Amino acid sequence: MADKVLVTGGAGYIGSHACKALAAAGYIPVTFDNLCTGWREAVKFGPFEQGDLMDRARLDEVFAAHKPIAVMHFAALSQVGEAMREPGKYWRGNVCASLNLIEAAVDAGCLDFVFSSTCATYGDHDGVVLDETTPQAPLNSYGASKRAIENMLKDFGAAHGLRSVIFRYFNVAGADPDAQVGEFHQPETHLIPVILEAIDGKRPALTINGTDYDTRDGTCVRDYVHVMDLVDAHVLGLKWLRDGRGRPADTQGEGGAEVFCLGTGSGFSVREVIDQARLATNHAVPMTEGPRREGDAVSLVSGSARAGEVLGWRADRSTLPQMIGDAWRWHQTGGYGK
């Protein structure tokens, strides 16, 4: 019987792609999701357990039933604007829920943990390629809550032997090239799918939030990683944890936690993404200009040298033409809930 991995948020965008990658690698992904933003139709590669991370009894039940060898934790609230308006929601929904999960995992003896963090923990470091040593200074409760979870993992590593891999990354884009799963939010807030919605008339226009930033064309710059590259890193991180269970503590990072940044080392402005979408789809992009969005950093670009050296990870699919092309192919299926 193949080993099981508990995937929180496995019915969501990144989680569903991780489940496909885990299944391809020989694991059985067990999706744990409350379907608040995820889709039941996205669970295609292993068992589904509906539940909320705030429900400790339900978590204990799922750990007992499936006996996973590891946790892959994607479930989170992640909207910058909302995080600025409702910080309490993010401290409860991200930090308290993750504490429940971590304690349940430790109590069940499931001591390998892969955490989907964010480079938003760094805040705004203009003109700097971020790496694992860059000081963390989050600008909002989303980044701050993720940083708090990272610290929890380190504390539980020191106290209980929990081993964790923490991935920090920025914008995830693209979709499964087979179009079995993809990005589908309601409402949609991520740049590339919003552009595609504007192209096919599902929204009147794309609004560019801020055109007066100190960048090459006045719009924000972000690093984009193909979702399939990203989930490959998570599977590599899991294998690294499993292979290194006897690794001496002083080679496992602080509190048994290893941090890896995932990026391409270069970023694209909003206008550059729009231009590439026009070329990839052969359609004009209706757009308007609006004010800056509160909490947005000017330029966020991440390197991945350490992930390459330690895990052997490469972001081979993370080009704008491929990310937009795969996203467009998925978008044309109509998504979930049809």
Q: What angle in degrees, to the nearest 10, is found between the helix axes of 320-331 and 270-281?
A: 60
Question: Could you tell me which of 201, 173, 202, 189 has the C-alpha nearest to residue 272?
Answer: 173
Q: Name the phi and psi angles at 5, rounded to 5.
A: -125, 125
User: What residues contact 182, with CB distance under 8 A and at least 6 apart?
Assistant: 13, 175, 176, 327, 330, 331, 333, 335
Task: Mark whether 142 is an active-site residue.
Answer: yes
Q: Are 212 and 296 in contact (CB under 8 A)?
A: no
Question: Could you tell me which of 31, 41, 257 has the C-alpha nearest to residue 149?
Answer: 257
Exactly one of 122, 142, 213, 224 is catalytic; name it: 142
**DSSP assignment of 137-188, as one string?**
--SSHHHHHHHHHHHHHHHHHHHH--EEEEEEE-EEE---TT-SS----SS-
Structure tokens at 124: 């705004």
Query: ∠78-181-22 over CA atoms, to 5°?
Result: 85
Q: How far apart are alpha carbons 328 and 175 in whole angstroms?
A: 9
For residue 125, give Cα distances in angstroms to 28, 129, 215, 227.
Answer: 39, 8, 13, 24
Positions annotated as catalytic residues are: 142
